[in-house]
Structure 1
Amino acid sequence: MAAPTQTIEVPSDAELMQAQADLWRHSLYYLTSMGLRCAVELGIPTTIHRLGGAASVSDLMAALSLPENKLPFFRRLMRVLVTGGVFAADGSGDAERFGLTPLSRILVDGVVADEHHSQRCFVLGPTCRHSVEAAFNLAEWFKKELASPVPSPFEDLHGARLFEESTPLLDPEMDAVVNEARAAHDNLGIGTLLRECRDLFKGVNSLTDCCGRHGETARAIVKAFPHINCTVFDLPWLVNQAPRDGVVNYVAGDAFHSNVPPAQAVMLKLVLHHLSDDDCVKILGQCRKAVPSQKEGGKVIVIDILVDPSLGPVMFEAQLMMDMLMMVNTRGRQRDENEWHHLFTKAGFSDYKIAKKIGARAVFEVFP
């Protein structure tokens, strides 16, 4: 018996042309990512900054020591990056000059400033060969029967987990880049956080930055609130790399198995989105044990991405792309408020409130 003929609704002419254009965009978005990576590898943002904040194509080609016959191709690269908001452009033809936007300013390297954390490595990390290969293998990963806890596509393909001691064995250069990318990402906006959330630290005399790595956030907190006694708690190999400047205390341990150093408040800043729900509950439970009761001022401060479509389509898309990044490279995820509520409840907390929303992130006060 012949299979029944299947039919499909045919788009109108206008819908068909729009669908084709959308298909081009979605299929070719990776070229925007690679164009951005190219700009970072060439040092275009830093070069524009060093040339006074605006430069012509000829100025850039000379400063970057690029062959003259690449000029028309360079113009095409810059046109795409200007359209994507990476750079600004003024004038046309030979008089056209390129400037920095807020996006490209955070890609400038070599600037010494308290609140400037260059995001250069954040571009290089997610677009590195190992990460792209893991994403390229996504369909095969979905089809595989994998025992729980399910490894990420990155872990399944490469046999190593990001941000752990196994990563340097895979590729030490990549490990250095992704760790610098994570540090740059986590440290961007510390000043904004401290200005917008001053009440968060009101009455707090001691704080443990759980999984605080090298202590950049803790040192910024002490600088803004000198009365707070800050302790950074993280794995020995991270704590051993931290600068001993006397500003904060360091304690080595494993948040899954060791006691978190007790304090009036414990902070988890951009930690949980790298972890599975089960691992989040374990760490949150350890943090809950380290703080006094809510009546005594005890709380856990969670700073992380809060998926929320009300922020608008651009910010929401950025959050979903970050969720895909977590899915491909880690066992973690980005969570909406219901999912955060579920984690806090399962970890034994009695209540929480959102103290502040800052861009794509939220600051939670979670009470024992």
Structure 2
Amino acid sequence: MATQATPIVVPTDAELLQAQADLWRHSLYYLKSMALKCAVELGIPTAIYRLGGSASIPDLITALSLPVAKQQFLSRLMRLLASSGVFSVVDSTEATYSLTPLSYLLVDGIEADDHINHAPFLLTVTATHYIDLAMGLAHWFKQDAKKPPFDHVHGASLFEESMERKHPEFHKMAMQGLIVHDNFGTNIALRELSDIYQGINSLTDCCYHGDGMTAKAIVKAFPHMKVTVLDLPQEIRKIPTDGVVNYVGGDMFKSIPRAQVVLLKMVLHHWSDEDCVKILANCKKAIASREEGGKVLIGDIVLDPASEPVMFETQLLMDVCMMLMKGGRQRDLNDWRDIFIKAGFSDFKLVKKFGARGVLEAYP
């Protein structure tokens, strides 16, 4: 029996007017990204920080050595960014702005263990190398292309040596952005989730173009633990040996150094489900039995429609981001369950939500 067509409901006048405003907003969302990029390139977050935490538009014009004639335009830029939560308004009369937690992440030069300047990530995903992917997305869908959009457009793979040869400056920034993306939150996790590390005697950290920072933080928090870092040989050669962490050059698709526990932090979202199953199967071979405390720890985005709308939108944007860049994906709990089962694990659980991410444990 043919499915009956759903009757078309003609929107009301009020709905159409609201729809037009919504269409304007969605069509111009990119201007928020570009305004934020502009603010970072001008050094506005750092300038506000150095001016004591708040600054007027004239203060910023002076601190940034901008032409006085640009004052009215800077005011409009800051007004937009403040409405988006990038800055907060201290005094609307004097147009004075202060940092928010978001813009604090973009301050350069803060000497604190927990602070990582996120500018490299922002500047990577707002660069023309990346914007071009989004601009050509409809064309990519029409092509019988098995490669992700990035490889299809640039003829090279993001984060890999092929991109370094073609566009060394962008590659350098992208690698810095990847490290920022992967390393942020490590110390917060070690404080808030210290219980999941209790009883672990040995751990292998499977990295994807890492710098060893996570492993060093784990050893600092748990000096008794034997920690090994596995990464590609060319990446391992870049990390200075410290006599504390064991660094091994290899390939997680082939084998993983044995340990009681294997850690995969912000790794699996780079890969397809089939590739993730291969990686996880090798993890299962490397860890101890469940009775001996064997498990795989995963830190990655867990899509959750029950999250508040802005957080869920962030997760979905990161999903399309991975689709464009690496052909990977973000996963909900059912997706995670499927790849764990296919890799031979007996059970898993979501330990805790962690910002836009989640911490999962998979058991052999």
TM-score with structure 1 length normalisation?
0.95
Residue type of the alignment partner of 1:356: K
Amino acid at match of 1:266: V
CA drift at 1:127: 0.5
Compute the displacement of 1:270 (Å).
0.3
CA distance in 1, matches of 2:44, 2:108: 10
Please tell me whether residue 217 in structure 1 is matched to residue 217 in structure 2: no
Partner of 1:101: 100
- 1:53-74 Cα distance to aligned partner (Å, 9 max, x none): 0011011111111111111110
Structure 2 counterparts to residues 228-307 of structure 1, below 5 A: 228-257=225-254, 259-307=255-303
Q: Distance in 2 between matches of 1:170 and 1:76?
A: 38
Give the equivalent residue in structure 2 for 1:134.
133
Supply the distance in 2 between the matched residues of 1:279 and 1:80 (Cα, whole angstroms). Answer: 42
- Please tell me whether the aligned partners of residues 133 and 324 of structure 2 are also in contact (alpha carbons under 8 angstroms): yes
CA distance in 2 between counterparts of 1:47 and 1:330 reads 35
How far, CA to CA, are the matches of 1:161 and 1:294 in structure 2?
Answer: 37
Deviation at 1:8, TM superposition (A): 6.2
Inter-partner Cα distance in structure 2 for 1:10 and 1:172:
53
- Aligned-residue offset at 1:11: 2.0
3-state DSSP of counterpart to 1:364: strand
Greater CA drift, 192-201 or 131-140: 192-201
Q: Distance in 2 between matches of 1:28 and 1:237?
A: 41
Q: Distance in 2 between matches of 1:35 and 1:255?
A: 40
Alpha-carbon distance in structure 2 between the residues aligned to 1:200 and 1:162: 33
Distance 1:231 1:356 in 2: 25
Question: 1:243: Cα distance to partner?
Answer: 2.4
CA shift at 1:167, angstroms? 1.3
Are residue 163 (structure 1) and residue 159 (structure 2) matched?
A: yes
Aligned to 1:313: 309
Gaps of 5+ in 1: 1-6
| CA RMSD, 1 decimal | 1.2
Q: Give, as a single letter, the amino acid of the residue that structure 1 aligns with 2:98.
A: G
Deviation, structure 1 residue 271: 0.2
1:327 paired residue number: 323
Question: Paired residue for 1:361?
Answer: 357
Which amino acid in 1 is paired with 2:105?
A: I
State the one-letter code of the partner of 1:338: N
**Residue 50 (str. 1) matches residue 37 (str. 2):** no
For residues 78 and 8 of structure 1, the distance between their equivalents in structure 2, rounded to whole angstroms, comes to 42
Maintained 8 Å contact 2:295/2:362: yes
Equivalent position of 1:188 in the other structure: 184
Question: Which position in structure 2 is the counterpart of 1:4?
Answer: none
Q: One-letter code of the match for 1:227? A: H
Structure 1 contact 280–343 (Cα < 8 Å) conserved: yes
How big is each residue's C-alpha offset from its partner over 1:149-201, in whole Å with a ceiling of 9 and x where there is no partner?
Answer: x2111111111111211111221111111111111111111122111211111
Question: 1:223: how far off?
Answer: 1.0
Single out whichever of 165-174 and 338-347 deviates more from structure 2.
165-174
Task: Determine the C-alpha separation between the residues in 1 that align with 2:15 and 2:325.
Answer: 36
On the 8 A contact 1:214/1:243 being kept in 2, the answer is: no
Task: Name the SS for the 2:241 alignment partner.
Answer: coil
What is the number of equivalent residue pairs in this alignment?
357
Provide Cα deviations, 1:237-285, integer angstroms capped at 9, x if missing partner.
111111222231100011112x211111000000000111111111111
Shift of 1:9: 4.5
In the TM superposition, what whole-angstrom CA distance separates every residue of 1:281-303 from its partner, at most 9, and x where no partner exists?
11111111111111111111111
Letter in 1 for 2:273: D
Amino acid at match of 1:231: T
List alignment gaps of at least 5 residues for structure 2: 1-6
Residue of structure 2 in register with 1:208 after alignment: 204
Q: Distance in 2 between matches of 1:192 and 1:102?
A: 15
Distance 1:92 1:335 in 2: 42
Aligned equivalent of 2:4: none
Q: Match for 2:195: what amino acid?
A: D
Distance, in Å, in 1 between the alignment partners of 2:261 and 2:14 is 57
Kindly indicate whether the alpha-carbon contact (under 8 Å) linking 1:276 and 1:332 is maintained by their aligned counterparts in 2. Answer: yes
Cα distance in structure 1, aligned partners of 2:353 and 2:8? 44
Report deviation, 1:310: 1.4
Q: What's the % identity of the aligned pairs? A: 56
Hey, what's the Cα distance between the residues in 2 that align with 1:207 and 1:165?
A: 28
In the alignment, the residues of structure 2 paired with residue 106 and residue 247 of structure 1 have an alpha-carbon distance, to the nearest angstrom, of 30
Following the alignment from structure 1 to structure 2, what is the Cα–Cα distance between the partners of residues 90 and 295?
A: 56
Three-state SS of the structure 1 residue aligned to 2:125 is coil
**TM-score, structure 2 normalization:** 0.96
Q: Is the partner of 1:135 in helix, strand or coil?
A: helix
| Alignment partner, residue 115 of structure 1 | 114
**Matched residue, 1:3:** none
